[in-house]
Every structure is written in structure tokens, then in C-alpha cells.
Amino acid sequence: MEFELWWLLAFPLFFVLGWLAARIDIKHVVKESRALPRTYLTGLNFLLNEQPDKAIDAFIEAVKIDNQTVELHFALGSLFRRRGETDRAIRMHQNLIDREDLSDEQRQHALSELGLDFLKAGLLDRAEAVFVKLRGTRFNEFALNNLLDIYQQEKDWKKAIEIAEALPHHEGVLWEKEVANFHCELAAAAMANSRFDEAMEGLGRALALNRKSVRANMLMGDLCASRDDDRAALEAWKMVEKQNPIYLALVAERIMDAYRRLGELEQGIQLLRSYLDKYPSLDLLDALFQWELQKEGPQVAYQLVRDELRRNPTLLGLDKLLEAALLTASAEQRTDIELVKSLVHGHTRRVARYRCDTCGFKARQFYWRCPACGGWETYPPKRTEEFDLVP
């Protein structure tokens, strides 16, 4: 009985203590909210309702009321940049940096935001200077990633290599592929200026980093061919099959030109036929079609395209078949075939494009680096129609 009375007496006491604690918390929250400018809360409300223009106006008013609100300056600068008003964002962050009451951490944060402002405005030299200052700080990795982006935009491949190698986890597969492409860019520039030994060294470094670098072997073959060493060039281009056979279409013309110079055209055609049999490709078919047409004539070229169309039915293949049929058709048939071909060709324009695996950007020509997202080797050398084929 005493036990039950004790709990009856203690229960009201616990209730009173809980009520007092809640009152203290509420008073603290109310005190903090009163310390904030009302326009600040209004601005937050606009942000939550996805009204950035009204939010900016409210934040500007809040800054006028309380100029010491550092976080509010950051929010306002970020909104300016997002809306494309980079000049106002730059002034906002520059004013923050010039303040003497900022901590080191806040100053570094302001610098990082200023660097993004310059980058958004296209002022790459100023952005670079800011991010260089941030190296070695807590924003080091952030600065390195932005410097890497800047140097790729400027095509300063030597600096891009240095920055990529300074990044944490730079030994991963992604960085091997990217840095190998930086070396390939340097090698291509050296080849264009007849610095062949320098180009050879660069390609060697690219292959040492990434043994599967198709681009490096393609350039190696080009370099050997420019030195009249077609045998070595063929060896380099044939390596593509072991690295990634999907890229064989890119070296098909090179291979055939080398065999033609060597006087072994038949051997080259047989090699391309074996490639097409194992790795169906519309671009590979097109290359082989042209060489068969040149060497064996329109009837053999037509037979080649017809057999391939039966194996892999595509609109692009049909377009090529109609092209071959025109070469063997009589004068009466040619008019009808030309009509059908013009209709088919109108549809093939939509599917005769390359597509980036990362962002989906489509282009009529092949790129080693996507013009839209900047990814390296994200463009498989296959037409968009080929992705829909069932093996």
C-alpha cells in the first residue's frame, strides 16, 4: 500500500519537472528566433517554396539589418551564383574575405565559394589562383578536383597529370584511364609537331598506366606508319582486338591502308571479314564494303551487305544494302530503289549517332572525351541503333 502511495505522490512531481524543462527549451528557442532578422526567416520560407528570386530579396534585406551574419552571406552568394549573377556573387564573397573578424575556416570557405564564382563566370585564371591557395587546407581535395577541371578545359595536360596524381585514390582504374588520355593528348600534340621521340615516350607512359588504352595503341600505330614502318603499325592496331574489340571499327581504314601500301590488300580484306564475323559493327561493315567494292566490284559488295543484313537486321544496314543495290540495278530499277533509299535514309539520320554512356549526349562523330559531361572514353564507337540489337 505504501508503495502505491509513493508513486501517486511522485507522478505529479515528475509532471511538474517535465513542464519546467519544456518551458526552458521553448524560451531558449524563442530567444534565438527573436535574435534572427524576420526577413531571414522569410527568405528561408521562399527557399522552401522554390522561389529563389524572392529569397534573394529577403536575404539582402536581412544582411542590411545584421551585417555580421556570415552564414547568410554564404547563402546569398550561392543563390546569386545559381541564378547566374556571378558578378554579385563575386562581390559578396570578396567582401567576406576582406573582413577581419573571420576565422581561418570561414575565410577558406569564402575562398572556395569565390573560386566557384570565377569558374562559373569563365574566369579560369582567377579561379585557378584561388584553388591553388586552397591546396594543403581542409579544402585540398575540393581544390584539386576543380584545378583538374580547369586544366582540362585549358588543355594544359602536363598540369592535369600533376593534379590527378596528387588526388587521393588516384591509383584507381578511373584515374589510370584519365591520366593515360592526358599522356595521349601530349603525344598527339608532339606527333603534330614532328617530335616523334617525345610522342613515343608519352605513349609508353600511357600504356604503362593503362594496358587497355586503345587510344595509345592507335596513336602508336599512327606513329609507326608516319615512319614508314607499316608492319609495326599493323601490330599496334591489331592489339586493339585484345584490348577492346568494339574499337576495331576505328582502326579498320588504317589497317587496310597499311596492307595496301604493303601490296597485301587481299590479306587485309580477309582480316576485316574475320573481325566483322566475330564483332558485328555497322562502321566495320561500311569500311569493308568500300574495300570490297573497290577490289571485287559491286556484286561482291552487295552480297556482303545482304548477308550481314540477314544476320543483323538494322535500318543502317538496309540503307547500305540499298546503296549497294543501286550499283547493280538496271536503269528501270534504279528510280524505285533511289526513292526507297531516300525514305530509309531520312530515318537513319536519327540512329546513326554515337551516344555517351554517362550522360546520353549524342553526336554524329566519335569523341574520346564527351563534349557534354567531360567523361573520358564514355563514347562506345557504335551507332545508337546497334545498342538495341539482340545478340
State which CATH number among 1.10.20, 1.20.144, 1.10.10, 1.25.40 fits the domain covering 262-347. Answer: 1.25.40
Residue 369 DSSP symbol: B
Question: How many CA within 13 A on the CB side of residue 57?
Answer: 4
CB 155 within 8 Å of CB 185: yes
- The Cα–Cα gap between 76 and 63 comes to 9
Q: How far is CA 76 from CA 59, 99, 280, 311, in A?
A: 6, 17, 55, 61
CA dihedral of 154, 203, 189, 379, whole degrees rounded to 10: -60
- The Cα–Cα gap between 93 and 86 comes to 10
**Confidence check: pLDDT of 391 > 50:** no
CA dihedral of 344, 349, 350, 351, whole degrees rounded to 10: 80
pLDDT digits (tens, 9 = 90+) for 93-110: 887 787 777 788 888 888
Query: Taking the domains of the chain in order of start, what are their residue ranges?
Result: 171-237, 262-347, 353-391
pLDDT of residue 38: 53
Mean pLDDT of 146-174: 85
Beta strands in the chain (DSSP E): 354-355, 362-363
Q: Is 356 annotated as a binding residue?
A: yes
**Confidence check: pLDDT of 298 > 70:** yes
pLDDT digits (tens, 9 = 90+) for 205-260: 999 999 999 999 999 999 999 999 999 999 999 999 999 998 998 999 999 999 99
Closest C-alpha among 232, 249, 253, 230 to residue 241: 249
- The Cα–Cα gap between 324 and 31 comes to 84
94 CB neighbour count, 10 Å cutoff = 14
- pLDDT-derived band of residue 65, with 50, 70 and 90 as boundaries? very low
CB 52 within 8 Å of CB 81: no
Q: How far apart are the first and last CA of the chain?
A: 84
Identical fold for domains 171-237 and 262-347, yes or no, is yes
Looking at per-residue pLDDT, the higher value among 349 and 83 belongs to 83
CATH class of 171-237: mainly alpha
CB 89 within 8 Å of CB 117: yes
CB 213 within 8 Å of CB 243: yes
Q: What H or E segment, with its residue span, contains residue 79? A: helix 70-82
Q: How far is CA 301 from CA 282, 291, 326, 329, in A?
A: 14, 8, 11, 13
pLDDT of residue 148: 93
- The Cα–Cα gap between 272 and 253 comes to 10
Positive or negative torsion for Cα 327, 329, 332, 336: negative
Residues near 299 by beta carbon (within 8 Å), at least 6 away in sequence: 328
Lowest-pLDDT range, 128-132, 213-217, 296-300? 296-300
Max avg pLDDT among 25-34, 94-103, 323-332, 336-345: 94-103
Locate 221 and state its grid cell: 600505330
pTM for this one?
A: 0.73
Closest C-alpha among 97, 91, 84, 175 to residue 134: 97
Residue 51 DSSP symbol: -
Cell 550481314 sits on residue:
308
- The Cα–Cα gap between 367 and 381 comes to 9
- The Cα–Cα gap between 79 and 74 comes to 9
CB 50 within 8 Å of CB 77: no
Q: Label residue 128 exposed, middle or buried (CB < 10 Å: 0-12, 13-18, 19+).
A: buried
Mean pLDDT of 74-79: 74
